[in-house]
């Protein structure tokens, strides 16, 4: 009888032990979804072997993640888009070889990187800051591959134009900064914003779960079913930063930044790859044709049934295309050396 009671007590203790994390998860999901989102990113960074580091330079601090060490293949610097963060790249990093040296940095003012009231958040200002970061961690000891998406694509392209000796090749994913011939749904939103003197809500800065869902519909062709609690959590995470996002938005749609990439294309010397979702409603895919016409030898990969959020919608395909391009360019340089 005593043995039976011991067994019952054991099951009760075991059940209670299991119930605690389950109840904690449910409570987090229902009451603190923003905390759950942070735990999610922390978990995937650990799973993928990415480590968080900080780089300090002249009172300015950059936050970044990295994996691997510099080796035979070039290092890869990944620049995220507007109002995003370094963890945007987790979906793509998952499909890249673990031996590659990968660096994902929070763009100026975003997430863990220093935010200042006087910082220039124009594209040129961000390029200067990213160059400061590159020098601080000595990433430019040998030429590296730079990848940028959306606003980060604009910055990546201008960076390659301004610091050609540091870049061995470039991948631009749905980059901003191009006068694309065809208007998009987002272009129409911009016109409405201008006519309202920017008093209307900016579609890329949601303040409610409903607006968050609308932003996903705008940025993604694939329809993701996201629970209301998660949408609320995403809003809660972003809400404290919305004033900053508005400041950055006004800078990157301003005269000096709006078409910065196109104005610098003629200065890009490194091999260039462009990846674009055909169904992009933010920056029209016709921009790929503009880039290809201005940069001889540019490789263009258009993705079917894919919108602006390429790294979220087609991460495996994106990783494969980037890796193929890097290997192709490296092999071409090796062949040139051998033939000479």
DSSP assignment of 279-324 equals T-SSS-TTHHHHHHHHSTT-EEEEETT--S-HHHHSHHHHHHHHHH
First-residue to last-residue Cα distance in the chain: 88
Cα distance between residue 41 and residue 216, in whole Å: 19
Q: Single out the catalytic residue among 176, 280, 284, 301.
A: 280
Length of the chain: 340
CB 81 within 8 A of CB 110: no
Cα distance between residue 322 and residue 147, in whole Å: 9
Q: How many CB atoms lie within 10 A of CB 269?
A: 13
Q: How far is CA 41 from CA 9, 221, 234, 245, in A?
A: 37, 23, 12, 21
Is 221 a residue of the active site? no
Q: Single out the catalytic residue among 150, 169, 257, 309.
A: 150
Is 280 a residue of the active site? yes
Cα distance between residue 284 and residue 150, in whole Å: 11
**Residues near 61 by beta carbon (within 8 Å), at least 6 away in sequence:** 54, 55, 112, 113, 114
1 exposure class (CB count in 10 Å sphere: 0-12, 13-18, 19+): exposed
**Residues near 177 by beta carbon (within 8 Å), at least 6 away in sequence:** 123, 153, 154, 157, 158, 257, 258, 259, 260, 261, 262
Q: How far is CA 113 from CA 57, 81, 96, 184, 191, in A?
A: 12, 14, 25, 31, 31
- Farthest-apart Cα atoms in the chain, separation: 88
Is 189 a residue of the active site? no
Cα distance between residue 207 and residue 133, in whole Å: 31
Residue 271: both structure tokens together: 């091999």
Enzyme catalytic residues = 150, 280, 308
């Amino acid at each position: 009888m005593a043995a039976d009671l011991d067994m019952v007590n054991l099951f009760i203790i075991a059940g209670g032990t299991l119930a605690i994390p389950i109840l904690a998860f449910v409570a987090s999901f229902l009451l603190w979804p923003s905390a759950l989102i942070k735990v999610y990113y922390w978990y995937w960074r650990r799973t993928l072997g990415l480590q968080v580091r900080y780089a300090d330079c002249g009172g300015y601090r950059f936050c970044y993640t990295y994996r691997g060490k510099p080796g035979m293949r070039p290092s890869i610097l990944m620049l995220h888009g507007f109002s995003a963060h370094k963890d945007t790249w987790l979906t793509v990093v998952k499909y890249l070889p673990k031996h590659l040296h990968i660096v994902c940095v929070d763009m100026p003012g975003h997430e863990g990187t220093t935010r200042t009231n006087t910082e220039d958040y124009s594209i040129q200002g961000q390029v200067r800051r990213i160059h400061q970061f590159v020098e601080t961690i000595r990433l430019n000891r040998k030429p590296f591959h730079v990848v940028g998406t959306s606003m980060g694509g604009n910055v990546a392209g201008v960076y390659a134009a301004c610091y050609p000796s540091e870049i061995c090749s470039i991948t631009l994913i749905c980059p901003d900064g191009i006068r694309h011939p065809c208007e998009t749904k987002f272009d129409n939103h911009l016109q409405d914003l201008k006519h309202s003197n920017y008093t209307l809500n900016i579609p890329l800065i949601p303040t409610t779960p409903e607006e968050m869902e609308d932003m996903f519909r705008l940025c993604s062709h694939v329809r993701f079913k996201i629970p209301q609690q998660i949408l609320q959590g995403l809003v809660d995470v972003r809400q404290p930063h919305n004033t900053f996002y508005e400041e950055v938005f006004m800078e990157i749609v301003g005269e000096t930044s709006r078409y910065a990439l196109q104005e610098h294309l003629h200065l890009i010397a490194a091999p260039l790859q462009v990846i674009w979702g055909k169904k992009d409603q933010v920056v029209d895919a016709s921009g790929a044709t503009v880039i290809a016409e201005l940069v001889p030898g540019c490789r263009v990969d258009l993705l079917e049934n894919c919108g602006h959020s390429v790294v979220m919608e087609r991460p495996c395909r994106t990783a494969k295309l980037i890796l193929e391009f890097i290997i192709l360019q490296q092999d071409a340089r090796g062949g040139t050396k051998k033939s000479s």
